[in-house]
Structure 1
């Protein structure tokens, strides 16, 4: 149940984000990556996985799985304390 609550909190975190912020976050992710192709594949795989894992969770239709994956990956890279929890 705790895992479900954490997902709900993360979903709410990304519900209200501007398009220019998405662009900046994408650039930040690509700059942090050593290989642009590999990071692109990782983003795509995460988005695909989340799409099917969270099928029962009603999400904001404006935040597509690929955008959510990018935002999460940037947070993981720039805020390593998130992974430590």
Structure 2
């Protein structure tokens, strides 16, 4: 899904996430915590070793906020 991510896409998504959020500090902490969890949870799963956990977390959070139907209840 996130293979061949380009730098400008990551920057755009990061800015989009920061603009959507009410509190930049809080969203930054959420991204960092998610990335830390992913680093250790996905140790066995090697989807694409080139995509760092922080980038994957940012992209996932933007998708979750913009498309809440993908989360599932």
Assess, with a 3 A threshold, how the Cα gap between structure 1 residues 31 and 51 changes in structure 2: closer, same or farther. same
Structure 2: gaps of 5 or more residues: none
Residue 79 of structure 1 is matched in structure 2 by 67
* Stretches (4+) displaced over 6 A: none
Residue of 29, 40, 44 corresponding to 2:17: 29
Equivalent runs, 1:1-85 vs 2, <5 Å: 13-84=1-72
- CA-atom RMSD in angstroms: 1.1
Count of paired positions: 73
Q: Distance in 1 between matches of 2:45 and 2:59?
A: 18
Relative CO higher for 1 or 2, CA cutoff 8 Å, sep ≥ 6?
A: 2
Normalising by structure 1, report the TM-score: 0.81
Normalising by structure 2, report the TM-score: 0.93
